């Protein structure tokens, strides 16, 4: 159990007795956080409030017990109770620490003190978190530390000692510090190539908590529910500039007034009240516009939109200021069921996109069209359509539909395969229970793994605009594809499979911050070959292609083409989050290079082709890293051939994990290229074959 140190502005206060502690202010007498600075370091303030009587009574009771204990037995009992209280306080202060940086920054002179742990009173307070105050103060008091000045003149940062967090991974899962525009990132090593000109975009998890006006603060439990922020890093002539903005969507706006009453993956802390639960359940398909998973370019004019696994597109200005949700002019959209509460059209996937040389961005929604039977409906957006500019509507054309078996369950599909002639949807055995979604406010409670079921494979043909075949495969689940391509009548899908438990355990924000042990299994990268010429209902087995990895990237001019190399993230086995980068040869089925640095955590990789390259792996990989020993994030450029670092540029503060993004070159009309998006006018590249060289 770690020690908590309380510093004050007066160096000799530690000898004061508990009886000298001033009364705790009432809720209506709360202090406003002030700015302060100590030892040259800016620290964040923490404001916490509690009603006067409860805290004062507990402190005085503890003081009386200490002064009145007259036997070794009593002293031992009190010591044991105090130790238990301190241990409980230490465990719970981790939860309290979530709010530390959200509630402001301080700058004042505090002489002769080291402030590791300070409590400041919040005006019209944080009622649930206030339960922490008595046990925290009691623990500190039992260590004979004074809190005499805490409520009068001290400003500081509620900070655990370094051992409270096992490593720096927690910085990926704490709220972004501030919005910035065009801030130069210091190049601290190497040099970015002169030819590298463009912008790396990311959507991601930006705001992990909120403190509505005059109401309790709340924190978000699951990574997929965290409020969205967009970031971009613009590289020009060797210089890197950063933009970072919280997206002020309706969900964000609601969170400034009260806890938003929408279904989420795993709720908030504190949980919904009875009234909040009723409001959520009685609006079963109210759309949450917190679209925090990916960002893509929908038009050749360069307009950028955030997306998620729920319907909608959130547009941002070039400086990343939030604009609005995209207004769509719908062409040929099927009529949704008019039956009560069955008008479902909210579920889609975060990885819509186009393939190389295709001007159409394809996507899908689940629809209930003619009663209690689900349809999967394909749509497309023409990237070259007439465009009135930021904030104007775009046309979306609806194409074919296919019936999804069963009225009560639909598969959770985060992406689908998109090749020159086909779309292949993998309806996995990891499924939403629709009845459960109607019953719960937390979607995770309605997500079920059914290994006894087969995966469904629905094949859509672009030329006819129709679904042409339904096949099956053995049960597996995945977030992302590595790549997919056609080989005659066959569609080859290379897939990073994932244990279904990953989304629950490795996306839990508290577990991520404290680097919990794994509660899931590594799953391999697989190859599934679907022959579109086969008979209806054919069952296709998959084969193991390679090791467990995810967030893979390939050469952007082999998107939807046969290929040799992929680069992705993997686990060293030391952490809950990814901490390795690997280069994998899909032809030899070998990992041929690995990058790892202790307490450094990579984000999604983006491959940018080197001009004039004759080998497929001659690319520059761009990745946003968190550097533990740096205390901040940085952009790294790596050589795709051997994963050697080429350059680093540091952010002025840590950036939360940036989910999915894309690379937009100097010519915006060529799109923003990412995992499922490609150059709409691009042509497949031809490369020499490189002799196998293993650098692991």
- What DSSP line would sit under 114-174, residue for residue? --S---BPPTT--TTGGGHHHHHHHHHHHTT---TTTTTT--------GGGSSSGGGGGGS
What is the model's pLDDT at position 84? 61
Paired with 306 in beta bridges are 295, 314
Residues making up the annotated binding site are 414, 480, 660
Inform me whether the pLDDT recorded for 393 exceeds 90: yes
**Cβ-proximal residues to 156 (8 Å cutoff; 6+ apart), any chain:** 7, 36, 38, 43, 45, 46, 106, 110, 115, 116, 117, 118, 120
Inform me whether the pLDDT recorded for 114 exceeds 50: no
Q: Flag whether 153 is in a domain.
A: no
Q: Which of 74-88, 269-283, 583-597 has the lowest mean pLDDT?
A: 74-88
pLDDT in tens, 273-289: 999 999 999 887 788 89
Q: Is 56 helix (H, G, I), strand (E, B) or coil?
A: helix
**Cβ-proximal residues to 241 (8 Å cutoff; 6+ apart), any chain:** 182, 183, 184, 185, 233, 234
What is the model's pLDDT at position 694? 67
* Bond prior to 270 in cis (omega within 30° of 0): yes
Mean pLDDT of the chain: 81
What is the model's pLDDT at position 153? 25
Distances (CA, A) of 528 to 482, 496, 541, 546, 595: 12, 11, 7, 13, 28
Give the model's confidence band at 164: pLDDT under 50 very low, under 70 low, under 90 confident, else very high.
confident
Q: Smallest Cα–Cα separation from 551: which of 662, 632, 631?
A: 662
- The pTM assigned to this predicted structure is 0.78
Q: Which letter does DSSP use for residue 109 in this model?
A: B
Give the model's confidence band at 343: pLDDT under 50 very low, under 70 low, under 90 confident, else very high.
low
Dihedral Cα 178, 180, 184, 187, nearest 10 deg: 40
What is the model's pLDDT at position 96? 43
Q: Smallest Cα–Cα separation from 120: which of 42, 219, 6, 211?
A: 6
Q: How many domains does the chain have?
A: 1
Q: Flag whether 117 is in a domain.
A: no
Q: Smallest Cα–Cα separation from 523: which of 489, 575, 471, 480?
A: 480
Contact 540, 533 (CB under 8 A): no
**What is d(CA 490, CA 121) in angstroms, rounded to the nearest whole number?**
65
What is the model's pLDDT at position 284? 73
Q: Flag whether 637 is in a domain.
A: yes
Residue of 337 and 644 predicted with greater confidence: 644
What is the model's pLDDT at position 73? 59
What is the model's pLDDT at position 103? 33
Q: Flag whether 532 is in a domain.
A: yes
Q: Which of 251-260, 428-437, 557-566, 628-637 has the lowest mean pLDDT?
A: 428-437
Q: Flag whether 66 is in a domain.
A: no
Residues making up the annotated binding site for Fe cation are 414, 480, 660
Phi, psi angle pair for 60, to nearest 5°: -70, -35
What is the model's pLDDT at position 140? 37
DSSP β-ladder status, 466-473 and 539-540: parallel
What is the model's pLDDT at position 85? 57
What is the model's pLDDT at position 167? 94
pLDDT in tens, 323-333: 999 999 999 99
What is the model's pLDDT at position 41? 28
Q: Flag whether 213 is in a domain.
A: yes
pLDDT in tens, 449-470: 999 999 999 999 999 999 999 9
Q: Flag whether 352 is in a domain.
A: yes
Print the domain residue range for 453: 183-674
Contact 207, 227 (CB under 8 A): yes
Residue of 515 and 128 predicted with greater confidence: 515
Q: Flag whether 375 is in a domain.
A: yes
Q: Smallest Cα–Cα separation from 281: which of 129, 436, 137, 427?
A: 436
Q: Which of 335-344, 346-355, 536-545, 669-678 has the lowest mean pLDDT?
A: 335-344
What is the model's pLDDT at position 77? 62
Percent of all residues in the chain with a pLDDT value above 90, rounded to a whole number: 68
Residue of 38 and 486 predicted with greater confidence: 486
Give the model's confidence band at 338: pLDDT under 50 very low, under 70 low, under 90 confident, else very high.
low
Look-up: residue for tokens 């720096």?
168
Percent of all residues in the chain with a pLDDT value above 70, rounded to a whole number: 74
Q: At what angle do helices 132-142 and 72-97 cross, to 10 degrees?
A: 130
Contact 632, 244 (CB under 8 A): no
Q: At what angle do helices 72-97 and 52-68 cross, to 10 degrees?
A: 150
Q: Smallest Cα–Cα separation from 358: which of 94, 44, 682?
A: 682
Q: Smallest Cα–Cα separation from 250: which of 308, 290, 286?
A: 290
pLDDT in tens, 10-57: 233 233 333 333 333 332 222 222 222 222 222 232 333 333 334 334
Contact 261, 171 (CB under 8 A): no
What is the model's pLDDT at position 101? 33
Sign of CA dihedral 257, 261, 267, 270: positive
**What is d(CA 110, CA 7) in angstroms, rounded to the nearest whole number?**
10
Give the model's confidence band at 80: pLDDT under 50 very low, under 70 low, under 90 confident, else very high.
low
């Amino acid at each position: 159990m770690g020690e908590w140190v309380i510093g004050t502005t007066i160096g000799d206060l530690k000898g004061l007795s508990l009886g000298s502690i001033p009364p705790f202010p009432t809720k209506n007498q709360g202090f406003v956080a002030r700015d302060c600075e100590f030892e040259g370091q800016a620290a964040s303030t923490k404001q916490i409030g509690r009603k006067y009587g409860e805290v004062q009574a507990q402190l005085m009771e503890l003081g009386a017990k200490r002064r009145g204990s007259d036997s070794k037995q009593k002293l031992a009992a009190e010591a044991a109770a105090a130790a238990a209280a301190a241990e409980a306080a230490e465990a719970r202060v981790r939860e309290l620490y979530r709010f530390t940086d959200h509630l402001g920054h301080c700058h004042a002179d505090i002489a002769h003190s080291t402030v590791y742990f300070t409590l400041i009173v919040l005006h019209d307070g944080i009622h649930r978190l206030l339960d922490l105050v008595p046990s925290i103060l009691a623990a500190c008091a039992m260590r004979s530390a004074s809190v005499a000045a805490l409520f009068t003149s001290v400003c500081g940062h509620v900070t655990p000692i370094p051992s409270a967090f096992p490593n720096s991974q927690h910085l990926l899962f704490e709220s972004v510090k501030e919005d910035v525009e065009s801030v130069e990132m210091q190049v601290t090593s190497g040099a970015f190539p002169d030819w590298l000109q463009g912008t790396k975009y990311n959507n991601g998890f930006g705001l992990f908590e909120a403190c509505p006006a005059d109401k309790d603060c709340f924190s978000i439990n699951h990574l997929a529910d965290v409020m969205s922020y967009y970031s971009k890093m613009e590289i020009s002539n060797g210089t890197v500039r950063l933009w970072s903005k919280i997206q002020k969507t309706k969900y964000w706006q609601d969170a400034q007034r009260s806890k938003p009453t929408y279904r989420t993956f795993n709720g908030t802390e504190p949980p919904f009240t009875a009234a909040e639960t009723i409001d959520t359940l009685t609006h079963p398909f109210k759309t949450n516009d917190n679209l925090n998973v990916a960002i893509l370019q929908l038009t050749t004019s360069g307009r950028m939109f955030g997306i998620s696994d729920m319907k909608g597109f959130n547009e941002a200005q070039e400086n990343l200021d939030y604009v609005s949700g995209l207004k769509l002019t719908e062409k040929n959209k099927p009529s949704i069921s008019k039956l009560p509460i069955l008008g479902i059209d909210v579920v889609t996937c975060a990885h819509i996109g186009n393939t190389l040389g295709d001007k159409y961005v394809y996507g899908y929604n689940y629809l209930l069209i003619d009663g209690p039977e689900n349809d999967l409906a394909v749509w497309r957006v023409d990237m070259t359509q007439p465009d009135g500019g930021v904030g104007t509507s775009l046309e979306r054309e609806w194409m074919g539909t296919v019936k999804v078996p069963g009225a009560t369950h639909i598969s959770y599909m985060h992406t689908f395969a998109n090749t020159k002639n086909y779309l292949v949807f993998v309806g996995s055995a990891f499924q939403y229970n629709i009845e459960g979604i109607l019953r719960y406010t937390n979607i995770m409670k309605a997500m079920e793994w059914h290994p006894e079921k087969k995966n469904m494979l629905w094949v859509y043909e672009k030329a006819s605009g129709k679904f042409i075949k339904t096949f099956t495969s053995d049960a597996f689940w995945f977030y992302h594809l590595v790549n997919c391509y056609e080989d005659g009548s066959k569609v080859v899908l290379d897939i990073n499979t994932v244990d279904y438990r990953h989304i629950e355990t490795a996306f839990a924000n508290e577990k991520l911050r404290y680097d919990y042990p794994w509660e899931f299994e590594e799953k391999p990268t697989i190859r599934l070959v679907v022959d579109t010429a086969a008979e209806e209902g054919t069952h296709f087995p998959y084969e193991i292609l390679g090791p467990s990895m995810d967030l893979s990237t390939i050469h952007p001019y082999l998107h939807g083409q046969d290929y040799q190399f992929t680069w992705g993230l993997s686990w060293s086995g030391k952490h809950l989050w990814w901490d390795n980068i690997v280069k994998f040869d899909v032809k030899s089925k070998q990992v041929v290079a690995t990058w790892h640095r202790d307490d450094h955590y990579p984000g999604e990789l983006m491959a940018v082709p080197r001009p004039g390259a004759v080998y497929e792996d001659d690319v520059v990989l761009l990745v946003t890293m968190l550097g533990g020993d740096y205390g901040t994030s940085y952009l790294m450029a790596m050589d795709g051939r051997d994963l050697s670092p080429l350059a680093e540029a540091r952010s002025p503060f840590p950036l939360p994990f940036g989910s999915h993004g894309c690379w937009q070159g100097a010519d915006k009309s060529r799109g923003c290229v990412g995992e499922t998006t490609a150059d709409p006018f691009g042509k497949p590249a031809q490369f020499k074959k490189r002799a196998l060289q293993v650098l692991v």
